[in-house]
Amino acid sequence: MTEMALSLLTQAEEEGLGGRALVDEPLARHTSYRIGGPADLYVVVRREEDLLGWLTLARRQRVSYFVMGRGTNLLVADQGMRGVVIENRCRGVRSLTRSEGILLQVQAGGSLSSLARRTAKEGLGGLEWAVGIPGTVGGAIVNNAGAYGGSIAQRLQRVTLLDNQGVLRRMAVSELELGYRTSRFKGESSVILSADFALQAESADLLSERVASCERERRKSQPKEPSAGSVFKNPGGEYAGRFIEKAGLKGDRIGDAQISPLHANYIVNLGQARASDVAALVRLVRERVWQKHGTLLELEIELVGDWEPEELAATIGSFGQDEECRDHPQL
């Protein structure tokens, strides 16, 4: 156990902080890729007061921290992550009836897919497109998640967050700079605590049909092997997967990482893939698509953790243009 981990654990116990704390915990156990080295300290919290307590403690002791949800959009380095990684499992939901509809207040650690199922079953429309999206509410906001014509931006009203100065704030959706798979939270250390969504009463039967339709589409088009979803953003009205397929890369593999034969914009883990294998495929795809089509694919997944600077720069760089690795929370 490192001195840092011991110090944090001792102080947390003295302050009565809740949460399950694990030392040198492999992050492969907590990401959808099933890839990632150890976190110095990994803490799972289920109450907002514990989340805030651990964040305050880390800041006070000047320990680096990273807040994650279900790890669905992350490629964690083989060397893991230094400092404390906090998994947010705060999942409370509260609804308020208003004249214009229902305002749903949702904690950021809850599953977006579960929320979509629940609201559809209760006859509340607006999130049914999100069935099958595996991340948390917080991660969906960071990335302005979307599918089948719907997106977070369409229903989100405001968020409550702890900003990078440790101050609790409420921000309206107009302040969040939501764009295609992006938001102002990219590259920030702010932590989203909860979100308000405006939903409308609709026929539960109709919503169930939409849910079933989305599920059918996902089963047909998405691979079953461990992955982090779409690796690259779709460039300007085109599909990244189509560029990759035309470049002749569908099915290519490095180690146990493979460009999915089912969907070329997925890189899947066939069993024992390492982060370095996935990163090597990312570099291959970006270089080949650039050479063949003159299109520079931008990453949708996030590389986080203790990467070698040269490997990181080569994977996320812009062929001569510097590009920052965006370590952001909630995913």
CA distance 55 to 60: 9
190 is catalytic: no
| 215-231 mean pLDDT | 93
Q: How many other C-beta atoms lie within 10 A of the C-beta of residue 220?
A: 9
User: What is the per-residue pLDDT for 238?
Assistant: 93
Q: Tell me: pLDDT of 324 over 60.
A: no
DSSP H helical ranges for 61-203: 112-121, 137-142, 152-155
Q: What is the pLDDT of residues 32-64, one digit of tens each?
A: 999 999 999 999 999 999 999 999 999 999 999
25, 87, 300, 302: the active-site residue: 300
Instruction: Name the residue with higher pLDDT: 287 or 323.
Output: 287
Q: What is the pLDDT of residues 122-177, one digit of tens each?
A: 999 999 999 989 999 999 999 999 998 899 999 999 999 999 999 999 999 999 99
181, 210, 274, 288: the active-site residue: 181
* C-alpha count within 13 angstroms, C-beta hemisphere, residue 285: 34
The fold of the 3-88 domain, in CATH, is: 3.30.43
**Tokens standing for 68?**
């994650």
Residue 330 binned pLDDT confidence (cut-offs 50, 70, 90): low
CA distance 59 to 53: 10
Q: Measuring CA to CA, which residue among 200, 177, 168 is closest to residue 48?
A: 168
Q: What is the pLDDT of residues 237-261, one digit of tens each?
A: 899 999 999 999 999 999 999 999 9
Residue 1 binned pLDDT confidence (cut-offs 50, 70, 90): confident
Q: What is the pLDDT of residues 177-212, one digit of tens each?
A: 999 999 999 878 899 999 999 999 999 999 999 999
Residue 317 binned pLDDT confidence (cut-offs 50, 70, 90): confident
Q: Tell me: pLDDT of 100 over 80.
A: no
- What pTM did the predictor assign? 0.92
Q: How many other C-beta atoms lie within 10 A of the C-beta of residue 285?
A: 23
CA distance 164 to 153: 23
User: What is the per-residue pLDDT for 290?
Assistant: 96
The fold of the 93-221 domain, in CATH, is: 3.30.465
Instruction: Name the residue with higher pLDDT: 1 or 184.
Output: 184
113, 183, 194, 230: the active-site residue: 230
In the three-class reduction of DSSP (H, G, I as helix; E, B as strand; rest coil), residue 134 is classed as: coil
User: What is the per-residue pLDDT for 328?
Assistant: 44
Query: Where, residue-wise, is CATH 3.30.465.10 in the chain?
Result: 93-221
Mean pLDDT of the chain, nearest integer: 93
* C-alpha count within 13 angstroms, C-beta hemisphere, residue 104: 26
Least confident of 135-144, 208-217, 315-324: 315-324
Rounded to 5 degrees, what are φ and ψ at 102? -110, 130
CA distances from 86 to 27, 44, 331 (A): 11, 6, 11
CB of 68 closer than 8 Å to CB of 76: no
User: What is the per-residue pLDDT for 24?
Assistant: 97
CB of 266 closer than 8 Å to CB of 229: yes
181 is catalytic: yes
Place of tokens 């700079």: 177
What CATH number belongs to 240-300?
Answer: 3.90.78.10
How large is the angle between the packed helices 275-293 and 309-316, nearest 10 degrees? 40
Query: Where, residue-wise, is CATH 3.30.43.10 in the chain?
Result: 3-88
